[in-house]
Structure 1
Amino acid sequence: MNDQLTDAKNYFVQYLQTEKNYSSLTISHYVHDIEHFFAFLHREGVAKLSTIEDLHSRLYLVTLHNEQFSRASVSRKISSLRSFFKFLEREEQISANPMSYVLHPKREGRLPHFFYEEEMEQLFLACDGTDPLSLRNKAILELLYATGIRVSECTSIELKDLDLSLSTLLVKGKGRKERYVPFGGFAQDAIAQYLKLGRPELIKEQPHSSLFVNHRGKPLTARGVRHILSTLVEKTALTASIHPHMLRHTFATHLLNNGADLRTVQELLGHAHLSSTQLYTHVTKEHLRKTYNSFHPRA
C-alpha cells in the first residue's frame, strides 16, 4: 500500500481513537472498508490522495455490485469512506470529498425477526434447572429480554455494573457511551440465583469481575452467548434459527406492542437516532396486520 495512503489511514484511526472514542471493533470496520477501497485504487493505478476523483467512487460502486456485496455492506462502506475523506478534507489533506455525491443504495425491505411471547416462554422453560450452567443461561436469557442490550454489551458487564437493589444495569454501549437500563423481577431473581449458586461454582476462584462466565470460569464471549441461545432453541419446538439480536428485536417489539412510546424505547436501546428505533413500528404494524387477517371474519 502506498505510504501516503497508509499515513492518511493511520491519521484517521488516531482521530477515531482519541476524538471519537470509538471501540476497537468499530475502528476495525472502518479500517477494513478503507483498505478495501485502497486495494481498488491500486488496481486502478491511483497512488496519491490528490488524484482520487468522483469517477473512482462511481467505479468502486460498480466493483462492489459486481462482487455481489449486499446493500447493507455497500451502504456501510460508503459511510466509512465518506467519513474518512471528510476528515481528510477538514485536515486540508484533500480539496474535496470524492464520496460527497455518492448515494446510499435503497435498503432491502426486510423487517427484523422477533419471538412471540409464547415462543419466549418456551425458551425460558428450556433453561429451567438448578445446575450452575442452567442458572447462568437463564440469567443471560432473562437479562437480554428484559433490557434489550446487545450481546457485546452483555458480555462486557462487570459485577460493579449491577445494582440489584434498584434493579438497574450500567451498560457500556457503542462509542463507549454509557446508559442505565432497568430490568424487572424475573431478571432480578434469575441474576440473584446465578450470583448465589451458579457463578461461584463456575468461576473456581479465578480473579476477574465479569458477570457471565463460561464452563471453565473465564469471561463469556459473544460467540459463547450465540452457542447458548442456539442450544436453548434446539431444546424447544421452535423451528426458527436464532441470533442474539433477535432478543433485542423482541424486547423493542413487545414494548411497542404493549403501548410504550418510541422515545422511551430509543433511550432503552441506546439508539443515537430515532430513525433506528422507528424500524420497530413497522414490525408492530405488520404484527397487527397479520393478526387482523388471521382473526377478522371479513379480512
Structure 2
Amino acid sequence: MPNRAGVLPAAAKTGTVTVNTNTENYIREYLSYLSAVRGISERTRHAYEGDLLRFAAYCENRETTAETAVPYEVQGFIGDLSAEGMASVSVNRALSSVRGFYRWLIRFGLRKDNPAGNLRNIKTPKTLPVFLWEGEMADFADLPDTAGILWPLRDKALILTMYSAGLRISELVSLSLKALERDLSGGRVIGKGDKERIVFFSDEAKEAIAEYLPARQNRIKAEHPTDRLFVNRRGGPISVAGVRWIIAKYAERSGLQKNVHPHALRHSFATHLVNAGCDVRIVQELLGHASLSTTQRYTHVDMERLKKVYVKAHPHGKRKTQ
C-alpha cells in the first residue's frame, strides 16, 4: 500500500513522458496490486502503465497531478486522445485505466471521489471480426505444400493447431512439448492473467503435429534446445512476429479478399462452433474468456440459421394457411 506523503518536487522520466516521482510511485503500486490481486498479464500491465503515465504527464502540463485531478481534466485528457485520432477502443481502455486507478486510490484512503466515475465510454463502431467460412478455412490450411519439408510441415501444423484449439497468438508461441497430451489430442496453455486451460486439437491438427515433430527434432540445436512446439529457422522458439509473418504469407497466397491475421483463426474457431449449435458458454470455456459478453462479441451466427430460428420462434414468423 502506498504511503501518504505529499507530492515530491522530483520528477521521474519514463521514455518521453516526464512524471512526478510521487505519482509514478502510486502508478507502480497500483499496477503491482493489479498483478497480485487480479492476475493481469504483462501485456495488459504494460498497456495500463502507458495510459496512466500519459494521463499523469497531461496533468503535470496543467500544473496539477493525477492524484488531485478533477473531472474536467480527465474529460480533457480523453478528448485529446480522440482528437489525436486514437482508436475508440484504445481511448476507452485509457479511460478504464484511469477509472481503475482512482478506485484504487479511494480504496486505500488516498482520495474520496472518482473524477472519472461519471464519464461514459465513447461509442465504438459495431464491426464483425474477420473470420473464414469452413470451406475457406480448409483451403487455407491446405496452402502449405508439405511434401516432407520442415517449414511447410511446421506452417500447416501451426495453422491447424491455432484454428482447432482457438488459440491466441501468445498461447500458440508459448505452447510447449511437455504441455501436450501423449496422443497429441490436446494440451495445456497459459492464457490471459496467467490462467491455465485445457485445449483440444482436431484429428487433422494431430496428424499435422505428428508429421512435423520428427522434422522439428532434426532442426533443434543440441547446445540450445527449446521445449517450445513451434520453432523458427534458427531452431529457437518462434516469435509473435514470426507467426504474423507466416499467416500474412499464406493470406496473400490464398487470394482471399479479407484481412486474414492470426486472430482471424480464433474468430473462425468460435464462429464455426456457434454455427454448429455449440452452446455459447461452452465456447466461452474453450476460448478462455472470463466474461460471456466477450465471447458473444467474438462469435456471430450465419444469417440463414438466424432466419430459421426467427421463423420458428416468432408468432408471426410463419403465417397460417387458410
TM-score for the superposition, normalised by structure 2: 0.85
Q: Deviations over 1:182-240 (max 9, x none)?
A: 122111111111112x2113223232211111011011011100101111122223232
Match of 1:271 in 2: 289
Aligned length: 288
Q: 1:10 to 1:98 in 2, by over 3 A?
A: same
Q: How does 1:195-210 map onto structure 2 within 5 Å?
A: 195-196=213-214, 198-205=215-222, 206-210=224-228
Residue 59 in structure 1 maps to residue 76 in structure 2: yes
Q: 1:194 to 1:113 in 2, by over 3 A?
A: same
Amino acid at match of 1:265: V
After TM superposition, give the deviation of residue 285 of structure 1 in Å.
Answer: 4.1
Residue 21 in structure 1 maps to residue 36 in structure 2: no
Residue 219 in structure 1 maps to residue 237 in structure 2: yes
The alignment partner of 1:179 has SS state of: strand
The alignment partner of 2:189 has SS state of: strand
Match of 1:251 in 2: 269
**Uncovered stretches (5+) of structure 2, i.e. residues with no partner:** 1-18, 309-322
Q: Deviations over 1:266-294 (max 9, x none)?
A: 0000111111111245x324475799xxx
CA–CA separation in structure 2 for the residues paired with 1:143 and 1:287: 29
Match of 1:128 in 2: 145
Q: Deviations over 1:65-94 (max 9, x none)?
A: 211222101111111111111111111111
1:171 to 144, 167, 189: 189
CA–CA separation in structure 2 for the residues paired with 1:83 and 1:44: 22
Bigger relative contact order (CA 8 A; separation at least 6) = 1
Match of 2:168 in 1: 150
After the TM superposition, which segments of 4 or more aligned residues of structure 1 sit over 3 Å from their partners? 285-291
Q: Contact 1:34/1:80 (CA < 8 Å) preserved in 2?
A: yes
Larger radius of gyration, structure 1 or 2? 2
Q: 1:78 to 1:227 in 2, by over 3 A?
A: same
2:30 to 12, 18, 27: 12
CA–CA separation in structure 2 for the residues paired with 1:227 and 1:106: 32
The alignment partner of 1:19 has SS state of: helix
Q: How does 1:29-178 map onto structure 2 within 5 Å?
A: 29-47=47-65, 49=67, 51-129=68-146, 130-165=148-183, 167-178=185-196
CA–CA separation in structure 2 for the residues paired with 1:40 and 1:287: 50
Q: Contact 1:142/1:190 (CA < 8 Å) preserved in 2?
A: yes
**What is the alpha-carbon root mean square deviation over aligned residues?**
1.9
**Uncovered stretches (5+) of structure 1, i.e. residues with no partner:** 292-299
Q: 1:217 to 1:39 in 2, by over 3 A?
A: same
Q: Contact 2:130/2:258 (CA < 8 Å) preserved in 1?
A: no
After TM superposition, give the deviation of residue 247 of structure 1 in Å.
Answer: 0.3
- Looking at secondary structure, tell me which structure has more helix per residue: 1
CA–CA separation in structure 2 for the residues paired with 1:290 and 1:232: 34
Amino acid at match of 1:183: F
CA–CA separation in structure 1 for the residues paired with 2:107 and 2:48: 18
The alignment partner of 2:131 has SS state of: coil
Q: 1:113 to 1:122 in 2, by over 3 A?
A: same
After TM superposition, give the deviation of residue 106 of structure 1 in Å.
Answer: 2.1
